[in-house]
Every structure is written in C-alpha cells, then in structure tokens.
Amino acid sequence: MMQLESTLTCPSCGHQSVETMPTDACQFFHDCKGCGTQLKSLAGDCCVFCSYGSVPCPPVQSSPTAAWGC
C-alpha cells in the first residue's frame, strides 16, 4: 500500500507535522509551522519527505529497486 501521509520533523526546532504527499510531484520546500524555518531537501534527496519525513515519497515507494530518492 502506498502511504501518502508522512510526518515531517523540523531539524531546527523538532516540530512535527503530518503532511499529505503529492503523488505526481516532488515537494522541495516545506515551511515549519513551529519556528518558520523553510525546510529544503538535502543534497541527494529528491524532496523534503525523503530528507525529513517518516515515509519516503510516493515515487520512491512505487519503485522498490530505486535508491532512496526519486
């Protein structure tokens, strides 16, 4: 089953928020609702969900042979 909800954890304040991931696009940015920091995907990661989320993004989930990152 594809999981479309991922819990993003802010690296600067630890605030967590559950976000729904788009299935057809990678999301590069997320504004932390706790401290206002703009989370950006880390080098080598395709999106903020792969960098900071509890669940990898849908394109990664749908291709199990792919490396971490879509």
Spatial neighbors of 59 by CB under 8 A, at least 6 apart, are: 26, 46, 66, 70
Cβ proximity to Zn ion, 10 vs 60, nearer residue: 10
Binder of Zn ion out of 10, 26, 47, 48 (CB under 5 A): 10
Contact between 35 and Zn ion by CB under 5 A: the answer reads yes
Q: Which stretch binds Zn ion (CB under 5 A): 1-9, 15-23, 47-55, 56-64?
A: 15-23
Q: Please state the closest distance from residue 58 (CB atom) to Zn ion, in A.
A: 24
Which candidate, 44, 41, 43, 61, places its Cα nearest to that of 52? Answer: 41
N-terminal to C-terminal alpha carbon distance within the chain: 18
Q: Please state the closest distance from residue 51 (CB atom) to Zn ion, in A.
A: 14
